[in-house]
Amino acid sequence: MPTHPLRRLIQGQGGSTLIELLVAMPIAVMLLGLIVQALGNAGQGQQDIERRTEALTQGQIGLERMTREVRQADWVFFRSSSLVDLQARVRATAGASSVRRLVRYDCTGEVCSRSEGPATVYPPPAVPTFTATSTVVGAPKADVGGRSGQITGHDIFFPSHVDSATGVRTVDFLAPDYLLVNLRLAVRGRKEPVVLEDGVNLRNRTTFAG
């Protein structure tokens, strides 16, 4: 009985055997797993970059505000390496005239906060009056949606004085002429913190010792 041309065409085509399928399937699964893993790593890497960039940006803004107000201050009173009071001119709004206000930067916790109150004399009282407080750098650990990681370490302010005769710089909390501000911000997913530093020449150091 003659074979139909269509049947001959179908029988003549090659196909995959069961053994070939059994070999190809694990390879395909492995390749798919590698692709999924690569996509996951790329996503995590992007999130890490975004968190680090966020911490750097927010930290730089806070650090610039600190150093600007310290530089322009009438006087500065260092209570510790993480707590400093100063009196500087502050504008309530962008178009308003600047007025003297007492400002405190407190970095004793997981954030650096800025408090502001009425102007006072030097040295400031042990318990000053403040009318407003805001966070300028950092976010608490519990704040999962925070703008950046929390402050790590409590040594933030490093005042010092240079001996005019020897040129030696020593730590000096009473009559400094230079201030180094060091911020270390933890970033989720990173073992090492982001470190930001800036230095300030203190123009009114003769008033610091009272």
Task: Enumerate residues 6+ apart whose C-beta is below 8 A from 199.
Answer: 67, 178, 179, 180, 181
In tens, the pLDDT along 96-141 reads 899 999 999 999 988 999 999 999 999 999 999 999 999 998 876 5
Which amino acid, 59?
Answer: G
Global pTM? 0.73
What's the rounded mean pLDDT across residues 52-62?
A: 85
Question: Is the separation of the CB atoms in 196 and 58 below 8 Å?
Answer: no
- Written as six digits, the tokens of 197 are 């530093």
pLDDT confidence tier of residue 10, bands split at 50, 70 and 90: very low
What's the rounded mean pLDDT across residues 63-87?
A: 94
Task: Enumerate residues 6+ apart whose C-beta is below 8 A from 181.
Answer: 63, 66, 67, 70, 156, 157, 158, 197, 198, 199, 200
Local structure of residue 157 (DSSP, 8 states): E
